[in-house]
A and B are shown apart, each in its own frame.
Chain A
Amino acid sequence: MTIQEAKKFFEGSEFSAETKEKISSVLEGKETLDPYTVLEIKAAMQAELAKDFADIDISGSEEALRIEKTYNAEVAQIESDLKADMTFVEEELKELDTIHKDLTRISDDIQADKIRESI
């Protein structure tokens, strides 16, 4: 979808003037419908839909609980992955520290040899 096509897509839509304005400003000056723009547009639509359903209360329903459970599981997985990722970075830094220590020793040996030779 091109920017022009996207503009046309929303122009005649049922969305409120406020949401259309927001989408229009997101599209303003863009050359391509880049992924971040897509995200922003989707978020704008979601926000209006959430308002439309504001007085629909499904909390406590099986479906709502399933959605919450799925979301919580995803977030838990994401956090667990991040912990593993951070541990990886820390361990790699420690490995680099070991390499650096080795290099320092080698460098010192070279200097020590120079001193011995000069004595």
Chain B
Amino acid sequence: MSQEQQYKNKEQAATLGTETQKNGAFDATVASAEKKQKNWFQRWGNRFTKAFDYVHEKSVAFNEKGFDTNDMVRAAKKLEDGGFGDGTKIAAFAEKAQWAVNNPKEFLNKANETISTKLYKFFAEGGYKTINGIRDTALEGAQKLKDSRMNLSKRVEALRGTKNGQEVHNATLDVNKLAGNLLVQGDNFIITSMTRQRAAEMNKNTDMNNAKYAYAAANGHSSAQHAGPKMDMFKNFANMHGGGHGAHDHGGDHH
């Protein structure tokens, strides 16, 4: 069949399909495909924008006040009320965030245990993990998603010409699932960035205290004598728990 004939057949089918759609039989017409495609990207694009705004808001709160589970709950509630459209993950997130506030003692232990609380894990780990380590973890997650997307692309390529609607449907579900995971990955990146900023700030504070202590000691300032034992304690404690100063970034990248 010539390309022109194929096109004519498609157009004819599309016209018929549109007519059938009016009767409520099905909606998979060429004519409606354009609209569906646009809606799909708009939906995910919109969710991404909202996700970005949401984590930015958390980031501002985090930088101003430090870690606060109530901030998470407020942000999650906001999302639940008008956030990511049909994002059931967000509703679950809000529920879990509320649980975290009600059960602060169990919160951190649980956060390290389950994948569904990955977001909390990133928060909980913030500031203690070395600067490079936390982003490396996020980059590993991103690479896995990219691999999944490339595999999915090959799978869809192999589906061209298929008559198996179920396989196409399953692949579509996987595309949506992957898009959802990408949004979570976006959150992880932002939270990672927040924790790295927090770690950098703490490193700066430590360096500044050290410098002031050295200056005070060299100039016979009374604060050196007063703060000396506390400085030693801080150093001892920091050395026992991941060092007194975070490591510097490896400068990892997406491949």
Interface residue ranges, A against B (CB under 8 Å): 1, 9-10, 13-15, 29-43, 45-46, 48-50, 52-53, 55-56, 58, 61, 63-64, 67-68, 70-71, 74-75, 77-79, 81-82, 84-86, 88-90, 92-93, 95-97, 99-113, 115-116, 119
Any A CB within 8 A of the CB of B84 = no
Q: How far is the CA of A88 from the CA of B52 in the complex (A)?
A: 13
Docked CA distance A74–B159 (Å)? 47
- B189–A52 CB distance below 8 A: no
Q: How many residues of B contact A (CB 8 A)?
A: 105
**B202 touches A (CB below 8 Å):** yes
CA distance A101 to B160 in the complex (A): 12
Taking the complex as formed, is B93 at the interface, i.e. its CB lies under 8 A from any CB of chain A? no
- The A/B interface has a contact count, at CB < 8 Å, of 258
Check B33 against A108 for contact (C-beta < 8 Å): yes
> Which of A40, A82, A96, A110 has a CB less than 8 Å from the CB of B175?
A96
Q: How far is the CB of B173 from chain A (nearest CB, A)?
A: 10
Interface-centre pick from A1, A34, A41, A109 (highest chain B CB count, 10 A): A109
Q: Are A116 and B237 in contact (CB-based, < 8 A)?
A: no
Interface of chain B, main secondary structure: helix
Q: How far is the CB of A15 from chain B (nearest CB, A)?
A: 6
Known: A9-B237, A49-B231, A89-B48. A115 touches B212 (CB 8 A): no
* Interchain CA distance A78-B152 in the complex, whole Å: 31
How many Å lie between the Cα of A105 and that of B135 in the bound state? 38
- Lowest 9 A-B CB distances belong to which pairs? A35-B128, A112-B13, A39-B127, A85-B189, A53-B212, A29-B105, A82-B193, A111-B28, A52-B227
Does B54 belong to the interface (CB within 8 Å)?
no
A97: chain B residues within 8 A (beta carbon): 37, 40-41, 44
Verify if B91 is at the interface (C-beta below 8 Å from A): no
Closest to A111 in B: B28
| Contact A45/B215 with A82-B190, A100-B40 known, Cβ cut-off 8 Å | no
Q: With A36-B125, A38-B241, A111-B26 given, is the CB distance from A52 to B193 under 8 Å?
A: no
- Identify which of A50, A63, A64, A70 contacts B205 (C-beta below 8 A): A50
**Known contacts A45-B234, A77-B251, A89-B182: A61-B211 contact under CB 8 Å:** yes
Decide if B128 touches A39 in the complex (CB within 8 Å): yes
Q: How far is the CB of A30 from chain B (nearest CB, A)?
A: 7
Docked-complex contact A112 and B9, CB < 8 angstroms: yes
With a cutoff of 8 Å between Cβ atoms, the chain B residues found around residue A41 in the complex are 237
Nearest CB of A to B65, in Å: 12
A15 in contact with B230 (CB, 8 Å): yes
Chain B residues whose CB sits within 8 angstroms of the CB of A10 once the complex forms: 233
Cross-chain contact of A100 among B108, B175, B227 (Cβ < 8 A) = B175
What is the bound-complex CA distance between A39 and B202, given in angstroms? 9
B204 interface neighbour in A13, A71, A96, Cβ under 8 Å: A71
A-B contact pairs, 12 of them (CB 8 A): A14-B233, A29-B105, A50-B208, A52-B227, A53-B227, A56-B221, A89-B185, A93-B182, A104-B37, A108-B33, A110-B28, A115-B13
State whether the Cβ of B98 lies closer than 8 Å to any Cβ in chain A: no
Residue B172 interfacial (CB < 8 Å): yes
A89 B186 Cβ-Cβ under 8 A? yes
Tell me whether B204 and A67 are in contact (CB under 8 A).
Answer: yes
Contact of A39 with B126 in the complex, beta carbons under 8 Å: yes
Determine the distance from Cα of A63 to Cα of B212 in the docked complex, in whole angstroms.
Answer: 9
Given A67-B207, A77-B249: A36 and B126 interface contact (C-beta under 8 Å): yes
Asked if B87 is at the interface (CB within 8 A of a chain A CB), the reply is: no
